Structure 1
Amino acid sequence: MALQGVIDTLKNTNLQEIGVSFSLADLMRDLKIEDDNVYIKLFSPSEKYHDYLREKAETVLKSIGAKNVQVEFTSEPPKQQQPPQPPPTAQQNPFESRRRIPKVKKVIAVASGKGGVGKSTVAVNLSAALRKMGYNVGYLDADMYGPSGPTMLGAKDKQVTATPDNKLIPPEVHGIKIMSIGLLLPSEDTPVIWRGPVLFKALSQFLFDINWGEELDFLIIDLPPGTGDVQITLGQTAEIDGAVIVTTPQDVALIDVKKGIQMFNEVQIPVLGIVENMSYFVCPDSGKKYEIFGKSKTEEVAKQYNTELLGRIPIEPKVAEFADLGIPVVLAKEDSESSKAFMKVAEELIKKLSKQ
């Protein structure tokens, strides 16, 4: 069953028969869908409404294809009925409430100012490079609307389980623990159609309610492109040890790099450096390098913004081929130019973090 279809149905189910103006969606506190089975938790201030609400929920959900509907109740009021919190005063620092992600030593966010620069390719291969160096590594795909991590790591068939206290247990592939919304969707082509509050709740759960097992040396967080709400929320809620910004040599991409650096400065996350992806093409016949996107200005931008160029990743068809097969090029073809470049980036990052 489609998540959005269930939510829309609940929104369209009013409760005027008991004299309230809410819909079932307004009373919803939790929702889980597995195949044709639906679990829903509803707010109810009194047991006298339980039978009515249970029957209402079962009727409308079964009408759209649910076979089994489990309804539970809670006396905790819905969030929208709670009084709004006052805005921070001038003396309050919104970053003082940041928390460490449990069981993680170092957290690295991989970001890009725009899409299409190979950010997830860098994040996945950086995770693989650190794992290859002997570190315990986790990969968190925070791109809720476009999760590509499961495909690139060959984890599409992996299952997420949970502990008795509802902590998610990430599966492991290539020795890397992976968590992604893509592992929780009914199918690979299921779109995530969430508004802000639902998105932020899922992001918070991914940050703080994951049981990574043995303590991770590194957690790589693959952010969505741009400088939007996810990046700001991450900066205000979690302690991040540093960010890596991915770009291509094109001027239009470097403009967005500047925005990304300034955004991370605003949310008080140190920028560890820039990775230039698709930096050049090496002709397999002659070995000659061709700067397809023009002469690079990335190093100039890095110096201008008091950071550094961590490495240049060449264009190699094998990188995309192995990504489609679910194997990072760092593990699939160790002697390739790309693999060597990713390993160099990992080494530079370790040096940078050791100085903090």
Structure 2
Amino acid sequence: MDQVSREQVLQALRDVQDPELHKSIVDLDMVKDVRIRDGVVSVEALLTIGGCPLRDTIQLSIEERLRRLPGVRGVQVSLGVMSDAQRQALIGKLRGGSTSPQQRSAFLTPESPTRVIVVASGKGGVGKSTVTVNLAVAMRQAGWRIGIIDADVYGFSIPRMLGLDGQPTVIDQMIIPLEKDGIRVMSIGFLLPDEGEAVIWRGPILHKTITTFIGEVHWGDDLDYLLIDLPPGTGDVPITLAQTLPQAHMVVVTTPQPAAVNVARRAARMAEKVNMEVLGIVENMSWFQAAPGAPPVYIFGRGGGLRLAELLGVPLLGEIPLDPAIREGSDAGEPIVTTHPDSPAARAFHQVAARLVERLPARVG
């Protein structure tokens, strides 16, 4: 049996990614030492922090990859922890050679490959967060790499809707977003002791929180789309985002009734004033169908989303029907796009996601 070489081991380990940083453990200098004796490969790998929540995943990935190498009779993995100097070097790699906080997020620059879409509404209760979550899942299922910022700091709901809890890993003030089904997520809900805790902040702290979520969270350099769930209305958060992410685009969510449409129009006018392009309108709760084949019931009226789209000169991206499974899925942390993929609502979300990508194509490459 041929003896496996150190070079072969390192080449194989390039296939092992840090599950939070989404880069090879070799490229991140997390492999400290490799020893080979009588076909037994011993690897010493370094974790970014001592309490790394995914240490078992990393160890298992190393073992599984090396066992597939011809000539390997056994694998031994020991895990250590990076020194401060090693962590700083890793952070420099992730920021493109800079340790400055301003370099942390690739999409802060006009050359960024990441498309940023803010999801807005004029008023609360129209299902804006529900639309954000289901669009994210639909886009991820289509193969795009997706992130979500829950910018609705006072009324955060994205963690529950995705079934996410826990605290993000922090590496020397660089925050690693939590992840669900390949979707990277950051919310103030991850930083509070429980989801019932009230957030009582004035404008300057709110501004700092949003800029932290944008600039100090390691979103990676491979995101295709970043969706940002705005709070309702036209207050501080949209203005902060427009200043921080001038290349962002907006989607406006409304329900059919005139009262909601008139308020949603103000959100679109706000986007116009800060030079943020509106990609289109999503009408939520468009109709209810009691049973397959039954006539639709227009509980909140009809045609409001189309009227708003015509007023603004933008397309109506889609109409999402009322479905109890949407509410049930949101409460259970399982979006309807996942649980009932063939339902009219799920198909409508997929349609909106496809039209969004048509309107704002990913920068592949």
- TM-score over 0.5 for the pair: yes
- The residue correspondences of 1:227-266 to structure 2 (distance < 5 A) are 227-266=234-273
In 2, the alpha carbon distance for the partners of 1:273 and 1:315 equals 20
Matched, 1:200 2:204: no
Q: 1:102: how far off?
A: 9.8
Residue 355 of structure 1 deviates from its aligned partner by 9.8
1:1-356 aligned at under 5 Å gives the runs 99-100=108-109, 105-156=114-165, 158-164=166-172, 166-213=173-220, 215-284=222-291, 286-354=293-361
| Per-residue CA distance 1:33-85 (angstroms, 9 max, x = gap) | xxxxxxxxxxxxxxxxxxxxxxxxxxxxxxxxxxxxxxxxxxxxxxxxxxxxx
For the residues of structure 2 that align with 1:296 and 1:268, how far apart are their CA atoms? 27
Give the C-alpha shift of residue 99 in structure 1.
3.8
Question: Does the aligned pair in 1 maintain the 2:286–2:302 contact within 8 Å?
Answer: no
C-alpha spacing 1:352/1:339, structure 2 compared with 1 (3 Å): same
| Letter in structure 2 aligned against 1:160 | P
Partners of 1:257 and 1:100 in 2: CA distance: 29
Supply the RMSD in Å over aligned alpha carbons.
1.9
How far is 1:103 from its partner?
A: 6.8
Q: Tell me, which stretches of 5 or more residues in structure 2 are unaligned?
A: 1-106
CA distance 1:167–1:264, change in 2 (3 Å)? same
Which whole-Å CA distance do the structure 2 matches of 1:316 and 1:301 have between them? Answer: 23
Q: Is the 8 A contact 2:123 2:233 kept in 1?
A: yes
Q: Give the number of equivalent residue pairs.
A: 257
Distance 1:317 1:249, change over 3 A: same
Alpha carbons of 1:163 and 1:102: their partners in 2 closer, same or farther (altered >3 Å)? farther
Partner secondary structure for residue 334 of structure 2: coil
Structure 1 stretches of 4+ with a deviation exceeding 2 A read 98-104
Letter in 2 for 1:190: E
Secondary structure of the structure 2 residue equivalent to 1:301: helix
Q: In the TM superposition, what is the alpha-carbon distance from 1:208 to its structure 2 partner?
A: 1.0
Which residue identity does 1:161 align to in structure 2?
T
User: CA, structure 1 residues 308+285, in 2 after alignment: closer, same or farther (shift >3 Å)?
Assistant: closer
* CA-CA distance at 1:236 after TM superposition: 1.3
What amino acid is the match of 1:212? Answer: W
CA distance in structure 2 between the aligned counterparts of 1:102 and 1:180, rounded to whole angstroms: 26
Instruction: Provide Cα deviations, 1:204-241, integer angstroms capped at 9, x if missing partner.
Output: 10111110235111100000000111111111121343
| Cα distance in 1, alignment partners of residues 277 and 111 from structure 2 | 20
Change (3 A) 1:128 1:256: same
Distance 1:275 1:285 in 2: 23
Q: What is the distance in 1 between the residues matched to 2:185 and 2:242?
A: 21
Aligned to 1:76: none
Verify the 8 A CA contact 2:283 2:305 in the aligned structure 1. yes
**Residues 212, 178 of structure 1: alpha-carbon distance in 2 compared, 3 angstrom cutoff:** same
> Per-residue deviation at 1:287?
2.8
Give 1:197's aligned amino acid.
Answer: P
Contact 2:114 2:362 in 1 (8 A): no
The SS at the match of 2:282 is: strand
- 1:281 Cα deviation after fit: 0.5
TM-score (norm 2): 0.68
Counterpart CA distance in 2 for 1:148 and 1:298 is 24
Separation in structure 1 between the aligned mates of residue 331 and residue 281 of structure 2, nearest angstrom: 25
Distance 1:204 1:355, change over 3 A: closer
SS of equivalent to 1:257: helix
In structure 2, do the counterparts of structure 1 residues 139 and 260 end up closer, same or farther at CA, with 3 Å as the change threshold?
Answer: same
CA 1:168/1:101 → structure 2, altered by over 3 Å: closer, same or farther? Answer: farther
The alpha-carbon distance between structure 1 residues 153 and 255, as it changes in their structure 2 partners (threshold 3 A), is: same
Identity between Structure 1 and Structure 2 (%): 46
d(CA) in 1 for partners of 2:265 and 2:112?
32
Give the whole-Å Cα distance in 1 for the aligned partners of 2:315 and 2:146: 24
